[in-house]
Amino acid sequence: MNYKETSNLVDIKKYLPHRAPMLMVDMILEMDDEKVETIFEIKEDNIFLKNGFLTESGLVENMAQTCSSVVAKDYFIDENKKDKTGVYVVGFISGIKTLKIHSLPKVNDVIFTKAVLVSKFITDSYSLCAMKCESFNKDELLLEGEITLFIQENKS
């Protein structure tokens, strides 16, 4: 699967609190309320490398961060909020329904990950969502699965 060249790239850091060395997505290629597509280049200094390959944990973290951006964006671009600069979101994987890892990518590979919302439950204090996800290295399927994420805005 080749990712599409676009001038509409979005910095994932606008939607997630993750920063190096835990940031496992470089850019959002496309995103709406129900789907997201991201890219991530595996660099030599990645903390999830073993013998030159991204580990299973690294692939799962890439999947989780890709999926989280769809739900987290509600906290960052809510037009009713006056001050968006102080938003701090906490999220974690609350469940993995299915997970198949077919292959591990290596250093300098670029992962293309796409996720689709399956269900979403929102309250005033948190969001819970289930998402299906696939990750590719070119045309090679690396990972497929469905996860549940819990995301909450911390008000400080």
Tens-place pLDDT, residues 75-128: 555 444 444 455 566 778 999 999 999 999 999 999 999 999 999 998 888 888
**69 against 85, higher pLDDT:** 69
What's the average model confidence in pLDDT over 72-77?
Answer: 59
For each of the domains in the chain, give its residue range(s) and CATH number, in order of start. Answer: 10-154 (3.10.129.10)
Q: Tokens 């497929």, residue?
A: 144
CA max distance for the chain = 48
Tens-place pLDDT, residues 48-63: 999 999 999 999 999 9
Rg of the chain taking only CA atoms, in angstroms: 15
Q: Provide the whole-model pTM.
A: 0.82
